[in-house]
Amino acid sequence: MSSPAVAFAQANHTRFLEELKELLRIPSISTLPEHAADCRKTAEKLAAELKRIGMENVRLIETKGHPLVCADWLHAAAKPTALMYGHYDVQPADPLDEWHTPPFEPTERNGNLYARGAVDDKGQMYMHVKALESLLAAGGKLPLNVRVLLEGEEEVGGEGIAAYVAMKPADLKADFALISDTELFAPGLPTLCVGLRGMIYTELEVRGAKTDLHSGMYGGAAPNPFVALAQIIAGLKDREGKILIPGFYDDVEAPSAEELAAWKSLPFDEEHYRETEVGSKQLVGEAGYSVLERTWARPTLEVHGMPGGFIGAGAKTVIPAKALAKISMRLVPNMTPAKSFAQYKAYVEEITPAGVEVSVRLIHQGDPCLIPVDNPYIQAATKALHEVWGKDTVFIRSGGSIPIVGDLDRHLGLPSVMMGFGLPDDNLHAPNEKFNLENFRLGIQSVIGFLEEAGK
């Protein structure tokens, strides 16, 4: 690419990388109250940087949680407007003893940058900031209008940004959204994600006796909430992975024949996936569906934790008064969080054993989405990616959820261009998270090229 903005990015790459490292050193863990100040510090740092590079109307928007960072540049008459989204919050770093280097001390190793948030999403979000800086520094203007919207609660459900998008649509008027929070299907293969699963995240609380009881004196007569909870969970799926909630699959929209054919042509080695990404003895899931279908286009139900009772060293013969489980479901296009949660709640209440009471709580939710690939912004993205990477773009779905995509579609009618540059083995949400350094460099160039192409 011969763009002056790309030349600026190449000349300033070392500085860009050092700035990213500074951002990664701040432990902006949104789910832990003790890191609220770190989240605010990160938001303030990003706001200062956006102002420095020439973005306008830079401000923090307060929410019930961590602040949003907003900015714009709206001087490209008769040009489309891009809404550039990212998130600055990160997951907790536990378990710390599995990190090879400290999670909040960014370390370069084997062509990668290791740190919590390196790929999800500080590194990818910062590519947007540096692409804007390169365009403004090289030409004094942007090739189209831009709004920037950064949040600090994506990892905990994004309630603050969802409320803002719903209440302030005029402040976010745009033609499309650009989001870099996904990955390349394989190294060096330009990829656009055009589908996401939705999610409902829940807590089940089962209560038995009014207080913890001695298992010798009361065992055999008093209900045990953990046993009841295990029975409930066992009743949610069969051994083949089929979800047993009545009506749960009724609205599932199957992928098209063309999409399934495209997935079969992708460079996917199931055994390599099992060994290097999953690391289990075998893969599981619904019979009759490929791994990509199971992870991209089928709903799931997973148990994430069962806190409660006695878990210390030694023994304590107690029947706990209550037991808790954290359970989520991934949803696919045509399913809705409200209906799926109602089905789930009704079924849990139906199969709850005698002697205990159950509470079913919805913690957060997100809609599934499917983006048409024939819109002009997807086409502009494929052209820009081809110019940078020298290969045709592949279209994939993601098994994950990005709640803001559904919010932008529902409240603003915006199609999202999900142009991500992570890799399948980047360990997002796990120890030793990383971001490939070459992907960071080429990602900035790709965003520059896309904005230039979309502004033509």
Question: Which residues share a beta bridge with 205?
Answer: 324, 359
| 91 CB neighbour count, 10 Å cutoff | 19
> Residue 240 is which amino acid?
E
Burial class (CB within 10 angstroms; exposed 0-12, middle 13-18, buried 19+) of 153:
buried
C-alpha–C-alpha distance, residues 411 and 149, integer Å: 15
> Residue 244 is which amino acid?
L
Q: Which of 124, 100, 105 is nearest to 115 (CA)?
A: 105
C-alpha–C-alpha distance, residues 379 and 300, integer Å: 31
CB 184 within 8 A of CB 192: no
CB 104 within 8 A of CB 24: yes
> Sign of the CA dihedral 205, 210, 212, 214?
negative
173-184 burial, b at 16+ Cβ within 10 Å, e below that, comes to ebbbbbbbbbbb
Give the start-end residues of each E strand in 52-160. Answer: 56-61, 68-73, 81-87, 107-109, 112-114, 145-151
The residue annotated as part of the active site, out of 154, 155, 426, 433, is 154
**Measured at the alpha carbon of residue 352, what is the angle toward residues 242 and 247, in degrees to the nearest 5?**
35
Say which residue the tokens 């999800």 belong to. 120
Q: Which of 119, 120, 136 is nearest to 51 (CA)?
A: 136
Tell me phi and psi for residue 275, to 5 degrees. Answer: -80, -45
C-alpha–C-alpha distance, residues 181 and 240, integer Å: 32
Whether residue 154 lies in the annotated active site? yes
Question: Which residues share a beta bridge with 112?
Answer: 109, 436
User: Chain-centre distance of CA 3, in angstroms?
Assistant: 31
Say which residue the tokens 């365009």 belong to. 135
The residue annotated as part of the active site, out of 38, 49, 72, 89, is 89
Whether residue 286 lies in the annotated active site? no
Question: Which residues share a beta bridge with 85?
Answer: 149, 179
CA torsion 165-368-444-390 (nearest 10°) is -150
For β-strands 112-114 and 434-436, DSSP reports them as antiparallel
Q: Which of 211, 193, 166, 173 is nearest to 411 (CA)?
A: 166
| Residues designated as active site | 89, 154
